[in-house]
A and B are shown apart, each in its own frame.
Chain A
Amino acid sequence: MRDLRRRLDELLLARATGSAGAVELEELARLLAEHPDIDDDAYERAAAAICLATLDTAEPMPPSLRDKLQRKAAEFVASAMPARR
């Protein structure tokens, strides 16, 4: 059991750092399905916090991208929440 937890930890770390390949990700998915109690996002949340701590968000999105996103948002609302509009 301890070896299994260690392997899971190794795979979760690899996923969080972007070092996991397709084979590792498949193995991770299989192990997580067998152990749904694991907090599988914990390393990724730590990595996300590091990104936030080092990120410069001063540059706004290009206006053309904002327009595309507005259209995507409208499509999403129409398809996913039509009753609430």
Chain B
Amino acid sequence: MTQSLLERIAAGDAAAVTECMDVYGNLVWALARRMSASAADAEDAVQEIFLDVWKSAPRYDASVASEAVFITTISRRRLIDRLRARKRRPPTEEFDEERIGPRDESDRGALAVEASIASRALEQLGESQREILLLGIVDGLTHSEIAMATGKPLGTVKTQMRRGLMKIRELLGTDSPPEED
């Protein structure tokens, strides 16, 4: 069976380090642009993220997630840390139905299986729940900020966010969360 790029990096294959950058560079750049206050911040973040990805390659388990999801998870964690450290948020855009699914159809071939599942799951959610989920996950708003933006009680925001992520997590085949009240 062919080794993934991350498995090759973990095995010490130097060529895989730059191949990883070539394959996932646009993805990490897009995430950084979305979750950074400026292009300069995004450039710094991308460099931190790739170093983290290369170092984390031995932890990658292909049976748990695709490489794209693994790299996106690391990227988000790093970008959220940077936002927290700077105590500021990236500019946000109005909620829009078109945000579901990539804007460029040519991107579809590059989407991970998990992304397709998440896209279908998002379409199954109610409009209000989907809006809350996207404001939190995509726009990076805190629960309190979402409550203010939508006029919904904080408790409702948390519940809707949890249920939405649970649904996607279940569809992705991960473990069961604790029972709800």
Chain A residues proximal to chain B, CB less than 8 Å: 2, 5-6, 9, 13-14, 16-19, 21-22, 39, 41-62, 64-66, 68-70, 72-73, 76-77, 80-81, 83-85
Residue from B17, B46, B83, B106 in contact with A76 in the complex, judged by beta carbons closer than 8 Å: B17
Q: Are A61 and B76 in contact (CB under 8 A)?
A: no
The chain A residue sitting closest to B12, CB to CB, is A84
> Which residues on A sit within 8 Å (CB–CB) of B114?
45, 48-49, 52
Q: Are B104 and A56 in contact (CB under 8 A)?
A: yes
Closest chain B CB from A58 CB (angstroms): 4
Q: Are B25 and A66 in contact (CB under 8 A)?
A: yes
Q: Are B14 and A56 in contact (CB under 8 A)?
A: no
Can you identify 20 A-B contacts, CB atoms within 8 angstroms? A14-B143, A19-B136, A43-B165, A48-B76, A50-B122, A50-B137, A51-B137, A52-B72, A52-B112, A53-B102, A55-B27, A56-B30, A57-B110, A59-B33, A64-B43, A65-B46, A70-B18, A72-B50, A76-B55, A77-B14
Whether B37 sits at the interface, judged by CB under 8 Å, is no
Q: Are B12 and A44 in contact (CB under 8 A)?
A: no
Closest chain B CB from A34 CB (angstroms): 16
A60 vs B69: C-alpha distance when bound (angstroms): 19
> Which residues on A sit within 8 Å (CB–CB) of B107?
55-58
Most B CB atoms within 10 A — which of A18, A65, A85?
A18
Residue from B31, B51, B161, B174 in contact with A13 in the complex, judged by beta carbons closer than 8 Å: B161
> 6 closest A-B pairs (Cβ-Cβ)?
A52-B115, A49-B118, A84-B12, A48-B72, A53-B119, A49-B114
> Which residues on A sit within 8 Å (CB–CB) of B64?
41, 45
Q: Are B43 and A50 in contact (CB under 8 A)?
A: no
> Which residues on A sit within 8 Å (CB–CB) of B179?
2
A77 vs B55: C-alpha distance when bound (angstroms): 10
Q: Are A68 and B174 in contact (CB under 8 A)?
A: no
The chain A residue sitting closest to B138, CB to CB, is A54
> Which residues on B sit within 8 Å (CB–CB) of A58?
26, 103-104, 106-107
Q: Are B46 and A69 in contact (CB under 8 A)?
A: yes
Q: Are B103 and A50 in contact (CB under 8 A)?
A: no
Q: Are B168 and A51 in contact (CB under 8 A)?
A: no
Q: Are B134 and A55 in contact (CB under 8 A)?
A: no
Given contacts A17-B136, A54-B138, contact A6 B178 (CB under 8 A): yes
> Which residues on A sit within 8 Å (CB–CB) of B111?
52-53
Q: Are A46 and B26 in contact (CB under 8 A)?
A: no
Q: Are A42 and B110 in contact (CB under 8 A)?
A: no
A85 vs B14: C-alpha distance when bound (angstroms): 6
